[in-house]
Amino acid sequence: MFNALLNFFYPRICISCGNVLLPQEQFFCLHCLYNFPETRYHEFDDSPLSQLFLGRVKVENVGAFLFYKKGNQTQKILHQLKYHGVKEVGEFLGNIYGTQLINREKWKTIEMILPIPLHKKKEKKRGYNQSEWIAKGLSAGMQIPYHTNLLLRTEFTETQTKKNRFHRWENVKEVFHLTDFNALANKHVLLCDDVLTTGATLEAAIQKLLAVPSVKVSVATLATAQ
């Protein structure tokens, strides 16, 4: 009764289309849920995403759940996830994506998930790290643990959106460090982040990880513009 009243005054709406949600719907209406702009890149050996890291760093698999375009529903989702405190939608979508990934042979050997850390200042301001919530969802969907204490961020980088690839790389190359080589040695690690654009941030993290003996690295993000 209380929930019904609450919903009457503050209706829950779909993050993508703004329609009022039915009681059994969460974050998205059924229509949007079945019409996500999925990339399905994880189903192919070769994709624009694997090309992105070619000749830069060695990665086993690269996947991104959704296509990101200006004005599309993925942009709205990312906006809610990053700037409106709707962190749980990262977990929700990570979970869906995780159940897809774990069905593919090449993704089954992954043993742990590491979210790309935010700088502490930024995390404090936002109250959470959105990549950590995606990792949480992937972890549930794949039934693989995630760790937030193995890969850490060290220094603050200024906002990177207006810089070219070279400058971005210069900015991010020293921002990550690993806390425990032994925990990572001989492991197949899945790095996760919210968006994959130039791959510069992920590349810096991968580079760090590849210094660990016999480590393998895969990448999964919620969205990509590629």
Question: Which DSSP helix (H) or strand (E) runs through 65?
Answer: strand 62-67
Rounded to a whole number of angstroms, the minimum distance from the CB of residue 95 to Zn ion is 18
Rounded to a whole number of angstroms, the minimum distance from the CB of residue 29 to Zn ion is 3
Rounded to a whole number of angstroms, the minimum distance from the CB of residue 15 to Zn ion is 7
Which stretches of the chain bind Zn ion, using CB under 5 A? 14, 16-17, 29, 32
Q: How far apart are CA 77 and CA 156, in angstroms?
A: 26
Which CB atom, from 30 or from 211, has the smaller least distance to Zn ion? 30
Rounded to a whole number of angstroms, the minimum distance from the CB of residue 23 to Zn ion is 15
109 contacts: CB under 8 Å, gap ≥ 6: 188, 216
Which CB atom, from 151 or from 223, has the smaller least distance to Zn ion? 223
Q: How far apart are CA 197 and CA 49, in angstroms?
A: 9
Half-sphere exposure in the Cβ direction for 51 (13 Å, CA): 6
Q: How far apart are CA 195 and CA 66, in angstroms?
A: 9
Which CB atom, from 16 or from 218, has the smaller least distance to Zn ion? 16
Q: How far apart are CA 62 and CA 78, in angstroms?
A: 19
Which CB atom, from 23 or from 127, has the smaller least distance to Zn ion? 23
